[in-house]
Structure 1
Amino acid sequence: MHRRKSIRIQEIAEKAGVSVGTVDRALHDRGRVAQKTKDVIMKIAAELGYAVPKTLDRKMAIGVLLPDPKTNSYWEKPLEGIVQAADLLNDTGLSIHLQLFDYNSETDYLEKGHLLLNEKLEGMIVHPKYKEATFELIRKAEQEEMKLAFINSNITEIAPDYFIGQNIEACGALVGRLIEISTREKEDIWVVNPYHDERLPISFQRERAVVNFLTKRGQDRSNIVIIDLPLKDEKASSIFEGKAKPKAIYVTNSRVAESYALIKEVQHFDDQDTVFIGHDLLEENKALLKSEKIDFLITQDSVRQGREVLENLYKILKSKQHKKIETLLPPSLVTKENS
């Protein structure tokens, strides 16, 4: 009987000129399907004498595409939050399809994303690490009319149904104030954007936020040095040669330890005389913080981030709402004393 149902849905899809996934969502009244399309599908189903058997009604399924914590330990906490939310929603029949990708591999990101897209999903949670690859995945997801949620980084051109991440403006203000109280007029400030294969959108957003804050407060723009740091380039350290020693260094993402090592190799700056600020409580970053080699780490409630992304995507799917929603989390300041 189940096989016969699959054949009939395929027949409806062909007659309606839509995907099997769209027919499935229309027949079971879940997910986003345009009313005009739904009317056509229901009309064809009625003409074919197709009835939805209640006993075979499939439960809601959400895909999750996140970095493997083994390749970036930051993601342990968001994943923990998603597991918490999944446990709370267990009685609803919600099923979670999880794919973890290598944080440093765009190829793996695409492969794991396509594996998810081969599942019958109503929605998908994604950390959009690689912009162009994300466009490829989202095109297919939109063909299936999935609801989308982004976590930690956003791509505004895509405009997901839900986004949760750090409040970038508040982050820029916090970092800016730390720099402001740690430097004097005419002292150089470095804003460092480290990356492996592709520049991270969130790094650029944080860079702009802190530069805007400082310049609005009267900081001379000529003393703010922007440095894009390709960590995989064997000659990356040469970027720092000939530059005056900075009074403040701000690393705009979690690659703090790698950046510190490269800068220290060339500049030999005094840890006690230079304020060093970075992001995220990775073990290697915490080690630098505890040994007073760096001064501050900026983070946010990452468990909450994971918990709320699943809870809110589930609510959006259940309510069938079309309004875009975002949750911006306040930044938290971590020092040696509270790490």
Structure 2
Amino acid sequence: MSVTIKEIADICGVSHGTVDRALNNRPGISDKTKEKILKIAAELNYYPDFRARSLAKGTTKTIGLVLFDLYNRSFSQLTNAVETESRSKDYLVNLLLTDKCIHSEKEAIENLISRKVDGIILFPINQGEAFESYLTNLNIPIVTICNKLSDKWSFVGIDDRSAMKDAVTYVAGKGYERVVYICPPLAYRHQSNIYTQLERFEGLLAGMQQCGYTEEPVVITEKDYLRALSRIDLKASKTAILCSCDLYALETMNFLKDRNYRIPEDVGLMGFDNIDVLKYISPKLTTVHYNVEEMGFRAVDALVRQLETQTPSSTPLVEYKIIQGESL
């Protein structure tokens, strides 16, 4: 059993409050006494009892983070940023993954509630009035990230629609006559919250209309999107493949290389996210960049502000830009 503050106080011959001030670096104690207490605490391997502290202060200094998986490298970068920023503000992070299951998402949220987290950063896959009413009744601060619910909730993200519209404009400027769009999540549009992907798809359509494309995009939503891609004659016209995230673009790049397509001579390719592993890829992928770490930082800041004020706050959208690579 670990040593208690009371035991340290008895050993040092001081009060419980004096030990507490020394351990928490608060004023009202001499340097000599503080040094003695810290020395004894270190020798006895003292660790603070966070459960007792949470009962006394009504806070656990923990934040819940709910994502659906970490397969996409951008989610791993996001998680790392949330943990780093939380730690800088003396919060610990409890991460739970839902595997894109709407029922698992609710179970994850309720698990965090039972662990008395102070607030939750949520990448929601549920949606609708019933779900928002459910969240409201939990009576806990929540910040949504990437997938938006409604204006009732603090939201951190980018202008995905404008970003994809600009991506199409960039592709059109390169002279591509046909667009193939790979976005498997669109198959789940009627089952779960895919706000981010829907915004990107709407941006694709708006961009193609603005750029004067008369041919509709070839939209691939199959889970086995590479098999679907294999059924398309990519050399029938000057074709650019746009992917709704870099993960799909990298798999597509390997697919094209295996079939001896030259990139960009035979077919163009563009991703979205600018994940950190792209620096190892050749040819360099053209993509849409936004600072995913900044999204994590802003989500934590928004949640901490809400914890302090009990009021959701608006957060500016994270900026984006086109990264010119060698794949278009």
Q: TM-score by structure 2 length?
A: 0.67
Q: Is the 8 A contact 2:145 2:155 kept in 1?
A: yes
- Equivalence for 1:301: 291
Alpha-carbon distance, 1:251 to partner = 0.8
- Equivalence for 1:149: 143
- Equivalence for 1:271: 263
What is the rounded CA distance, in whole Å, between the counterparts of 1:303 and 1:198 in structure 2? 27
- Equivalence for 1:240: 232
Match of 2:242 among 242, 250, 269: 250
**Cα distance change, pair 144–107 in 1 and its aligned pair in 2 (3 A):** closer
What is the rounded CA distance, in whole Å, between the counterparts of 2:239 and 2:108 in structure 1? 43
- Equivalence for 1:89: 89
- Equivalence for 2:113: 117
Alpha-carbon distance, 1:285 to partner = 5.2
**Cα distance change, pair 229–246 in 1 and its aligned pair in 2 (3 A):** farther
Q: Which amino acid aligns with 1:302?
A: V
Alpha-carbon distance, 1:241 to partner = 5.9
Alpha-carbon distance, 1:233 to partner = 7.3
SS in structure 2 at match of 1:329: coil
Deviation by residue 1:125-169 (Cα, 9 ceiling, x = unmatched): 0112x336x98875543212222211122234xx45211112224
**Cα distance change, pair 308–109 in 1 and its aligned pair in 2 (3 A):** same
Q: TM-score by structure 1 length?
A: 0.65
Match of 1:333 among 313, 322, 327: 322
SS in structure 1 at match of 2:183: strand
**Cα distance change, pair 232–169 in 1 and its aligned pair in 2 (3 A):** closer
Q: Is the 8 A contact 1:65 1:112 kept in 2?
A: yes
Higher strand content, 1 or 2: 1
Q: Is the 8 A contact 1:194 1:253 kept in 2?
A: no
What is the rounded CA distance, in whole Å, between the counterparts of 2:119 and 2:287 in structure 1? 33
Alpha-carbon distance, 1:177 to partner = 2.7
2:219 pairs with 1:230: no
Q: Which amino acid aligns with 1:149?
A: V
**Cα distance change, pair 319–206 in 1 and its aligned pair in 2 (3 A):** same
What is the rounded CA distance, in whole Å, between the counterparts of 2:291 and 2:99 in structure 1? 20
Segments of structure 2 that go 5 or more residues without pairing to the other structure are: 1-53
What is the rounded CA distance, in whole Å, between the counterparts of 2:231 and 2:141 in structure 1? 43
Q: Is the 8 A contact 1:191 1:249 kept in 2?
A: yes
Segments of structure 1 that go 5 or more residues without pairing to the other structure are: 1-53
**Cα distance change, pair 246–143 in 1 and its aligned pair in 2 (3 A):** farther
What is the rounded CA distance, in whole Å, between the counterparts of 1:325 and 1:283 in structure 2? 28
Cα RMSD for the two superposed structures: 3.6
**Cα distance change, pair 160–264 in 1 and its aligned pair in 2 (3 A):** farther
What is the rounded CA distance, in whole Å, between the counterparts of 2:88 and 2:172 in structure 1? 44
Number of residue pairs matched? 266
Q: Which amino acid aligns with 1:120?
A: K
Q: Is the 8 A contact 2:302 2:315 kept in 1?
A: no
Deviation by residue 1:181-234 (Cα, 9 ceiling, x = unmatched): 1116xx2122221349835432221121132133224x13x3231413222479
Match of 2:199 among 184, 205, 218: 205
Deviation by residue 1:53-79 (Cα, 9 ceiling, x = unmatched): x9823126532113554x332223222
What is the rounded CA distance, in whole Å, between the counterparts of 2:307 and 2:87 in structure 1? 18
2:126 pairs with 1:131: yes
Q: Which amino acid aligns with 1:276?
A: L
What is the rounded CA distance, in whole Å, between the counterparts of 1:55 and 1:101 in structure 2? 28
- Is the radius of gyration larger for structure 1 or structure 2? 2
What is the rounded CA distance, in whole Å, between the counterparts of 1:211 and 1:161 in structure 2? 28
What is the rounded CA distance, in whole Å, between the counterparts of 2:201 and 2:228 in structure 1? 20
What is the rounded CA distance, in whole Å, between the counterparts of 2:149 and 2:164 in structure 1? 19
2:156 pairs with 1:167: no
